[in-house]
Amino acid sequence: MKNKISLFLILFILLSISFIQCQKKEEKKFKTSKYEVKENYVIHSAYGISGVHVKDTINNIYGAMLIPISKIKDNNINIKPITTNIGSQMQDFVDQVKKRKAEGDNFIEIRPAYFIFHNNELYSCLIKKTICFANEDTTKTYNTVIFNYLENKELSFDDIFQVNEENYNEFIQLFDKKMSSIGLQGLKQIDFNIEMDSIAFNVQEEKTFNHYKQSIETLRPYFKNKKQFLKEEN
């Protein structure tokens, strides 16, 4: 119960920060309501998704912001990195809308799209953001929070992989040819998320994102910890 209350407080605070100017101008112009999730995504069975509709008629913003909520009482796993990430993206969108000052509606939806746990020590949460600025095309972007909740640390490419100049070519050949021109330093900057049996690199190409995947077992020789992501035996 404490965990749920904390998450709702975080969500409320983030919304309050994002739209404080709107509320000062006219309190009735900003509304939130329960958001009904209609799409199916991969979410750990111990969690549900909860969020709010966003309707800001001062800045012509509407959409939704969703976060994972634990179904288990006394779940102390820290998912604040996810809620903070989502709140920051919402704030960035609001700031961009204010700078553009374009007439018309601006849409945003931010939500977890692939949220799973591995090895009883870390989780990977792929966050999907769908936006449409006034009079522009809809775009979708992705970014991932990989978090070791035992060490309270966000993980990067170098925390998971052991890829260097010597084995880079071997590693990159395991993926689509479109990734071959990225280079080692570019590879380390690309967003990636961990799935049940594979790892996906989420590459932005013009206005679209492509998800280049390879199985965990194929990538195992390149892990820093060769026992990472082993399936637990029943």
What are the pLDDT digits (tens) for 39-96? 568 999 999 999 888 999 999 999 999 999 999 989 999 999 999 999 999 999 999 9
User: With contact defined as beta carbons under 8 Å apart, do 131 and 120 qualify?
Assistant: no
What are the pLDDT digits (tens) for 97-111? 999 988 899 999 999
Helix (H, G, I), strand (E, B) or coil at 126: strand
Closest C-alpha among 27, 82, 97 to residue 51: 82
CA distance 50 to 64: 10
Question: What is the structure's pLDDT at 132?
Answer: 95
Region 148-165: mean pLDDT is: 97
Query: What is the set of domains in the chain, with CATH numbers?
Result: 1-155 (3.30.565.40), 156-227 (no CATH)
Residue 16: count of CB within 10 angstroms of its CB: 11
Question: What is the structure's pLDDT at 34?
Answer: 39
Question: What is the structure's pLDDT at 205?
Answer: 80
**HEC secondary structure over 151-165:** CCEECCHHHHECCCC
List Cβ neighbours of 7 (8 Å cut-off, separation of 6 or more): 67, 69, 70, 79, 83
* Greatest mean pLDDT range, 2-16, 161-175, 205-219: 161-175
